[in-house]
Structure 1
């Protein structure tokens, strides 16, 4: 793995430090295999980034005929985990296909859609997909509802609002399993870049299914993290965010008009329990830009 050389201006470590976060990053040139990283192999909390491996496992199962992507699923209000987007926010029964649930899960990080898909795929099939793809550092056992249950159980809070009010108490964050990569859904930045590389090379699933997944990731609506580092009309950023209390993540692929394709995975944890932290969000894009610039400079040498 190529080392990050000192360049004029802030380093990736400076970006994370200035934003008040602990950060881990890996970046991969999808075609040449060149890579750079900061804590690339350290375990990190997936949060909603778990939905990317779930998406791949779903489409692999669909390609084998084990799941019908057009099969309708009806979600009632009682089925829904709380969330700020998509079906999670609705008041009436909603019926849509499994593949449309997958689209909602990725484009707006819909927790209810993701949990419905998680139930259909199942942990054994998801674990088998991770093993088949060589993602040995990635472990997923809980959906969004499971993560939320663990947070409330560990904190003693009755609601998310109460949990936020308690989060600043000394020692509380250390008790929360959902924020501990040793006790929750976890991965490494290198694993997620590896998965994205497989997906962009049509090696994670057949070509048609891979194209569907890339399209969904390209339609993600959030511009404030990874995409903020590449504010150019001719650069395409596709990605999946993850947010859970002080955790803010994004993994994705940055594609340049000259054909360069770069997988980037950035995982951060804020030092202060702030629900709104634009500086932490922006740090993900800034750190990713530095890593991609390094890879592109390496390519030109």
Structure 2
């Protein structure tokens, strides 16, 4: 597998991004490292950490996933999906709010859960699982507020200026929600082996990851009806991430974490999205070849 990191770097370069990747065979422990210990901004990938913390608290009896929560439109965290985009009041269970957070990356849903769970509890969960490089600093509303503050009075138009991009706290792993690719595959491995939660709650976490609607990043590398991809994306200006698990019909299970940055602040960059799947496929193919599954 000595040439595999070079192939992954070449794919990143062709797509106009810099990237970090870790891939893990969940059962054998075989792994592939392309800058896997570099700190990265998690963006919405951190919703996975929140989801695991939510289910940890539910398993301990500290909350009921069926608890009903009022979701008034006033004060909702901004976003383009789910409750964040809705105009009317809603009443949902914690379980269904978690679905919106994971399936469509709803920021308002995530902050409703954070209000119930707390940032400290999220950090205790990641610490318990040995994710020493993973830390939640902001709610998602606060993270977006730092972007507005750092962009200044010109607002979103200022994000076309590389000097503005360079000063965004949300893009600095030292000052925002952060992790490493290796920490994220460790978390995914723990979820798939029922080490992060009880089996009942681990199954619930896996189900929600499998309901994500976005097919254009990690899943794009595995366009097969009999290969299942479950994941969580994360996006910020110049940032495109996804972490997830790829499951083959022969029982092979591979956790993959890909974090990328591009100098282009455009919201639509198909090549930058697709290379996440390309890099993941190269890594998983190499792991499968190493264990003799072709």
TM-score interval, smaller chain: over 0.9
Q: Quick check: 1:211 aligned with 2:208?
A: no
Give the drift of 1:130: 1.0
Matches of 1:69 and 1:157, distance apart in 2: 41
The partner residue of 2:286 within 276, 288, 294 is: 294
The answer to whether 1:113 aligns with 2:100 is no
Choose 171-180 or 205-214, whichever is displaced more.
171-180
| Whole-Å separation in 2 of the counterparts to 1:105 and 1:37 | 29
Q: Which residue of 2 aligns with 1:180?
A: 172
- Report the Cα distance in structure 2 between the residues aligned to 1:157 and 1:69, rounded to whole angstroms: 41
- 1:162-201 aligned at under 5 Å gives the runs 162-163=155-156, 165-201=157-193
Q: 2:24 aligns with which of 28, 40, 44?
A: 28
- Separation of aligned partners in 2, 1:271 and 1:33: 34
**Aligned match of 2:47:** 51
> Following superposition of structure 1 onto structure 2, how do residues 1-301 of structure 1 map, counting pairs within 5 Å?
4-6=1-3, 11-157=7-153, 162-163=155-156, 165-300=157-292
Q: Normalising to structure 1: TM-score of the pair?
A: 0.95
The TM-score, its normalising length taken from structure 2, stands at: 0.97
C-alpha distance in structure 2 between counterparts of 1:272 and 1:200, whole Å: 35
RMSD between aligned alpha carbons? 1.4
How big is each residue's C-alpha offset from its partner over 1:159-215, in whole Å with a ceiling of 9 and x where there is no partner?
xxx32x212324211210001111100000000000000000000000000001101
Distance 1:256 1:170 in 2: 41
1:157 Cα deviation from its structure 2 partner: 3.7
The ranges of structure 1 where at least 4 consecutive aligned residues each deviate by more than 3 angstroms after the TM superposition are none
Cα distance between partner residues in 2 of 1:225 and 1:157: 33
Q: How far, CA to CA, are the matches of 1:259 and 1:246 in structure 2?
A: 35
How far apart are residue 53 of structure 1 and its match?
A: 0.5
Q: Structure 1 stretches of 5 or more lacking a match?
A: none
Give the Cα–Cα distance (whole angstroms) in 2 for the partners of residues 211 and 250 of structure 1. Answer: 20
Report the 3-state secondary structure (helix = DSSP H, G, I; strand = E; otherwise coil) of the residue aligned with 1:167. helix
Alpha carbons of structure 1 residues 6 and 238: separation in structure 2 relative to 1, 3 Å = same
